[in-house]
Amino acid sequence: MRPLSDLVWGSPPADATWTWKSICKTKLMMKNAYTDGQWQPNVKPWYFNTVWNNWNVPKHAFITWLIMHNGMNTREKLHRFGCGSTDAGCICENAKETLPHLFFEYDYSKVVKSLIHDRCGACISMSGAMAGGYGNVGGKLKQQVFANILNACIYHIWAHRNSARVNGILLIPSLVAQKIREVVRQRIKFKCNAKMSRSDDVWLEKLGIRL
């Protein structure tokens, strides 16, 4: 008989069902976060501060969280599971629609991000933003705003990808960037208070935000 500890935390047998293997995988992930009946402090995934920043619009954060768990049904993923006749992208039909390609390699996405960058200087990159967060961008305000921008970009690119797939309608990148900037502007005005440094105030004015 296998020891109780193996049954609780060990790997499932090779002939276990997919469901049981998934449960065991989740238990192993939770082992370091939940010990002796208590949640352990400071056990956070590497993307936590960028995704679950309370300045983010909740639905934007949720979409980014799904992406971090590969939970979005791209054409490449659906085609791999036998759904759909092609794995080519809805926006760019010349390559497989994977998550990295959709958000950071498509020419359409690159133009949207470039327009955002030109306005506020936020470098929208998965490798930089997600791996290291925005810890070196000059103050807490900018960290929060840049995380907000990243999540808004991801959400709106995904939303307009869906519009192209379902309705055959795709806004030009400048209009998408305009929508993103307006959402970010409204969110910042909602979250900011009147107490901030002069440099932050000047920076927000460059974004077109006056408090």
- What digits encode the pLDDT tens for the residues 3-36? 444 444 567 788 888 888 878 777 776 666 666 6
- Which of 44-53, 102-111, 168-177 is predicted least confidently? 44-53
> What average pLDDT does this structure show over 192-208?
74
Whether 98 has a pLDDT exceeding 80, the answer reads: yes
C-alpha to C-alpha distances, 146 to 45, 70, 73, 110, 183, nearest whole angstrom: 19, 22, 26, 17, 13
Largest CA distance in the chain: 69
- Give percent above pLDDT 90 in the chain: 8
Whole-number pLDDT of residue 130? 45
- CA atoms 43, 45, 46, 50: torsion sign: negative
Phi, psi at 88, each rounded to 5°? -75, 155
Question: Which position has the higher pLDDT, 147 or 195?
Answer: 147
- Which of 17-31, 74-88, 134-148 is predicted least confidently? 134-148
Token pair, residue 27, equals 């238990």
Whether 195 has a pLDDT exceeding 60, the answer reads: yes
Q: What is the mean pLDDT of the chain?
A: 77
Token pair, residue 99, equals 């998550």
Question: Which position has the higher pLDDT, 53 or 120?
Answer: 53
- Which of 43-57, 60-74, 114-128 is predicted least confidently? 114-128
Q: How far apart are CA 60 and CA 170, in angstroms?
A: 20
Whole-number pLDDT of residue 71? 85
Question: Which position has the higher pLDDT, 112 or 124?
Answer: 112
CA 173 to chain centre: 19
Q: Which residues contact 141 (CB under 8 A, 6 or more apart)?
A: 192, 196, 200, 203, 204
Whether 99 has a pLDDT exceeding 60, the answer reads: yes
pTM: 0.72
What is the band of 159 on the pLDDT scale with cuts at 50, 70, 90?
very high
> What average pLDDT does this structure show over 126-133?
48
Of 211, 179, 171, nearest to 194 by C-alpha is 211
> What average pLDDT does this structure show over 72-91?
85
> What average pLDDT does this structure show over 32-49?
68
